[in-house]
A and B are shown apart, each in its own frame.
Chain A
Amino acid sequence: MISHNVLDQLKAIVGEKNVFADTISVSSYSYDATMLSGTAMATVFPVTTEQTVHLVKYLDSVNIPLVPRGAGTNLSGGTIPMENSVVVNFSRMTKILEIDTENFVAVVEPGLVNFDFQVELEKYGFYYPPDPASYKATTLGGNLGECSGGPRCFKYGVTRDYVLGLEVVLPDGQIIQTGGRNFRSEPGFDLTRILVGSEGTLGFITKIFLRILPKPAAKKTMLAIYNEVEDASQTVADIVAAGIVPTTLEMMDNILINTAEDATGAGLPRDAGALLIIEIDGHEVDMDAQVEIIAEICKKARVREFKIARTVAEVDQLWLARRVVIGSVARRRPSYSLQDVTVPRSMFPSAVKEIVKVRKDYNLDIGILAHAGDGNFHPLVLFDQRNKDEVERVHAVEKHICTMALALGGTVSGEHGIGLLKKHFIEMEFSATAMESFKKIKSAFDPNHRFNPGKIM
């Protein structure tokens, strides 16, 4: 419980309508998109940097930790409130401060929803490449916190590659600016990079300078359907080896094809072993030659059907299936555990094989979804959280898959972050020296462990 005195102070800082400490509100900020939960003392919505500074300084003075939050769609437990903390909710800081298409820069507040930003950019013929599957709901601040990826990373990179600069409130209440408006990097510690993906453990982002790009002149979306998932994974390896850099190489296996089809009725073949969505973009005159090479590669890998989307509607339909696939598994089983391991691309076929094996060994439904071009897997382990035995097997599978990824030279998190969920696996990935280095970073920024306690380490 939070004391009246603290509550009054918080209200004085952000205003009556931006502080909530009733049971219902507190309970509503106890979760995110994982199965974890915690308990906050209160939720506050700062709407300016100055308010954020005051909140940080005040809460520091009364020894209350702070947990940042946007839309709470993350898949790592990064926004689960720990240790009786106050949730600092940035979702009411939604302004687009500037869109400067001439200089490829946009300045936004952290609570702006990725989708709302894209809609605005669209008016100028521009876009912002990182678009995680949840982009319709996620805030950009949250995207930065977790360093989100999305299906376009193969060619365009992840969130960190589009952040030019930040305004940050440090745990001692000090405001700093890192980077700037320029794309050229600067000598010195790259503070911007260490902050992106730090899940709010080092500082709270209150203003973001982003790089935006003009929409590519041309784009081709292809669909390749396979009888066997192994053939799809061979295609991925071959495309990369051929030196083609698609914007997207997404893979879904039979289980997910079916759940996505249930949700969308997009017309996906229910009996296929796997499918790949392949997208390339660039200059109009370069498209056909690349499509030809890709078609050839698919053919060699025993593709059953190879389609090129002819209309915008066809393209949208393909993407719709991909975007809803994670949620759609609930049609099969009520709960899912979403993994986020990455392996080197050459290990992609081995990883697919291993996951197919795990499916049998643990007797669990596991749908395989992958940003295949990046080697980033999202195996979806399906179960019912009310079934204790199943839950235990799911945890065993989680560990198995992480261990596999590390054994194949990969990582336990490709784009979702560590949060609470992967904390137990992070020591498997990093040496003691690396863990010690992380602690040094944390100590330099937040010696009193005030910001998002318990996350990452």
Chain B
Amino acid sequence: MNKAMAQIKGLIGEGHVVDSVAEMAKFLRGNGKPLAVVFPGSTAEVSGLVKLANELNLKIAVGGQVVESKGLDGGLALVLSRMNKILEIDHANLVATVEPGILHAAFVTKMEEEGLNFPPEPFAVETGSVGGCFAIGDTDSKAFQYMPTRTYLLGYEMVLPTGEVLDIGNKCIKNVSGYDLIHFAVGSRGTLGIFTKLLIKLLPPPEVKYAVLADFASIHKASIAFTTLIKRNIHPTRLNLINATLAKNTFPATEGNLVMVDLEGFKASTELLAEEISSVFKLAGAKNIRIVTNADEYVKIWRAWLSLRGELNTQDVERILDINVGPMKMPPALKALEEITGDLAGYPGIVLEGLLGHIRMLLPTAAEKNQLAGKVNALAMSFGGNVSGVLGSRLVCEAYNDAEMWQGITSLINQIRKQFDPKGILAPGASL
């Protein structure tokens, strides 16, 4: 072990290695016990560490600020916080090249200063990095207007699990050359490799950003109001709801459940839409409807939303259950869900992304997730959806009684992992 540590320190410098348990804890999530937390400063250093890990058979997991330590006993936790530079901002092509460790918040602030727009939301508002956005690939609630997170990645430099450096992509927004490894990597949770540079697509900023907030005593009425908007071809940037329990903490003034609408676009149409949305909410029985046009207030509101989202993202996975149903199927799905969960407003946590048909549940501490997931998945499937993620795929296959298909998918994914990472070094905690 000492020899390994010496080699690591030799590679990236003693000052960039942390191996005391107490100090390491600051950078770790979960109960794994890695050998060290290391802070590489360049692609070459990352590559060197990965090659060393292959030699010594050490596991590696990566994070921007915090690393998931599951399965990482005796391995290396790579924190990329030193690799946090913006290498280029190219206004003519609306792209930027960044290092993965740059904090999402810092990046977005810089882009706004430059008159550019980067729509994806962070995984966690305080600690989330831009690299994390793409490694996790969790689409934000703005996807209906802005498309999913993956569409913002035009290329990358990545250290593969065997230490080679893969450089792929270019500044063209239209590119179908070769296999689409670029978007394939988004959401791969560090299993395919470690991002060391990202080429990011940006947009011109919207002319205005408004918010519409409204308090709904009934989640169901809010959800029906959402479908009314969709039927009228009104597709705001975000159309979200947080239930009363969560709203109490985030927005203490809320009476009941809070609906949060984001409108980003041209001034003329945005003003019209804000009014139209307000009147739809009014008809649906909402209280305290307010149209927010003040920039500071707007930022505050959505920062609070991101904090809440970040808290849920970093919760124990056993307490989180995500369901997708068709957006117009939300009202009946919520009715059915309530029969399983009891009162939705008082449930530990319910978050809706109306345009995406997404329901996120924060389960009670004592809940049996697996048991609940089976029931909820059956419900979701009856409304054209399913529990999301790997758990969902497995449940869907189970529901179809299609063990063969489940086996087919898992063996394909394992094949791919094996091709790229024959020794199984990277992201031991990630299950795909």
Q: Which A residues are closer than 8 A to B by beta carbons?
A: 100, 102-105, 146-147, 149, 153-154, 157-158, 160-161, 170, 174-177, 180-191, 193-194, 196-198, 202, 214, 217, 237, 240-241, 243-245, 282-286, 289-290, 342-346, 371, 374-376, 409-418, 422, 426, 429-431, 433-434, 436-438, 440-445, 456
- Partner-binding segment picked from B176-184, B237-245, B361-369: B176-184
* Minimal beta-carbon separation of B152 from chain A (angstroms): 11
Do B326 and A374 touch (CB < 8 A)? no
Report the bound CA distance from A376 to B332 in whole Å. 45
Do A183 and B174 touch (CB < 8 A)? no
* Closest B residue, CB atoms, query A213: B235
- Cβ-defined partner of B148 (8 Å) among A158, A185, A438: A185
Contacts of A102 in B (CB 8 A): 230-231, 326-329
B204 within 8 A of A: yes
- Partner-binding segment picked from B11-19, B210-218, B404-412: B404-412
Q: Which B residues are closer than 8 A to A by beta carbons?
A: 90-95, 115, 136-139, 143-144, 147-151, 160, 164-168, 170-181, 183-189, 191-192, 203-205, 230-231, 233, 265-266, 268-269, 272-273, 324, 326-329, 353, 356-358, 384-386, 388-390, 392, 396, 404-405, 408-409, 412-413, 415-416, 418-420, 432
Report the bound CA distance from A105 to B325 in whole Å. 12
Do B174 and A180 touch (CB < 8 A)? no
Report the bound CA distance from A441 to B413 in whole Å. 10
* Minimal beta-carbon separation of A369 from chain B (angstroms): 14
Do A193 and B184 touch (CB < 8 A)? yes
With contacts A189-B188, A345-B93, A443-B419 known, is A413 near B177, CB below 8 A?
A: yes
User: What 5 A-B pairs come out closest when comparing CB atoms?
Assistant: A243-B204, A103-B326, A283-B269, A346-B92, A102-B328
With contacts A189-B413, A241-B91, A245-B204 known, is A286 near B151, CB below 8 A?
A: no
Do B92 and A342 touch (CB < 8 A)? no
Q: Write 7 A-B pairs (CB below 8 A) sorted by A numbering.
A: A102-B326, A170-B412, A184-B139, A283-B268, A344-B171, A433-B165, A441-B419
Do B93 and A217 touch (CB < 8 A)? no
Do A103 and B179 touch (CB < 8 A)? no
* Minimal beta-carbon separation of B59 from chain A (angstroms): 19
With contacts A188-B390, A414-B174 known, is A104 near B167, CB below 8 A?
A: no
Contacts of A371 in B (CB 8 A): 174
Do A440 and B167 touch (CB < 8 A)? no
Report the bound CA distance from A417 to B179 in whole Å. 10
Do A196 and B180 touch (CB < 8 A)? yes
With contacts A102-B326, A175-B405, A189-B413 known, is A198 near B179, CB below 8 A?
A: yes
* Minimal beta-carbon separation of A234 from chain B (angstroms): 12
* Minimal beta-carbon separation of A404 from chain B (angstroms): 14
